[in-house]
C-alpha cells in the first residue's frame, strides 16, 4: 500500500477533512514522483546548514585570534606603563 493511498483512505475515513461532512470525494495522489525533489531539498538544506556552521566556526576562530592579539598588546602596554 503506498503512502498516497493510505492518506486518501485516512482522509475519506475522517469525513473528507471538511469537519465531518463526507462529500464522497477522495483524491488519490501518488507521492513517489515527488520523492527525488524531497531528497534534493533535504540535501540542500543540510548542505546550507553545514556551510553556515563551518562559516561560524572559522569566524569564531578568527575572533579568538584577534582577542588573543589584543590581550598581548594590552599586557605589553601595561608592562611599559609599569616600567615608566
- The pLDDT of residue 65: 97
- Judging by beta carbons within 10 Å of its beta carbon (0-12, 13-18, 19+), is residue 63 exposed, middle or buried? exposed
Cell of 3: 503512502
> Domains in the chain: how many in total?
1
The owner of cell 495522489 is 29
- The pLDDT of residue 11: 52
- The pLDDT of residue 27: 64
- The pLDDT of residue 74: 96
Pick from 27, 26, 30: nearest CA to 3 = 30
Q: Count the Cβ atoms, other than its own, within 10 Å of residue 13.
A: 10
- List, run by run, the mean pLDDT of 10-residue segments along the chain (84 residues): 54 52 61 88 98 98 97 94 88
Q: Cα–Cα distance between 4 and 10 in angstroms, integer?
A: 10
User: Which domain, by its residues, includes 57?
Assistant: 3-83
Amino acid at each position: 500500500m503506498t503512502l498516497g493511498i493510505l492518506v486518501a483512505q485516512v482522509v475519506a475515513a475522517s469525513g473528507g477533512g471538511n469537519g465531518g461532512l463526507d462529500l464522497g470525494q477522495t483524491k488519490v495522489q501518488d507521492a513517489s514522483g515527488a520523492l527525488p525533489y524531497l531528497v534534493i531539498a533535504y540535501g540542500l538544506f543540510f548542505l546550507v546548514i553545514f556551510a553556515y556552521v563551518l562559516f561560524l566556526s572559522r569566524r569564531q576562530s578568527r575572533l579568538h585570534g584577534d582577542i588573543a592579539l589584543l590581550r598581548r598588546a594590552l599586557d605589553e602596554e601595561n608592562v611599559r606603563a609599569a616600567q615608566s
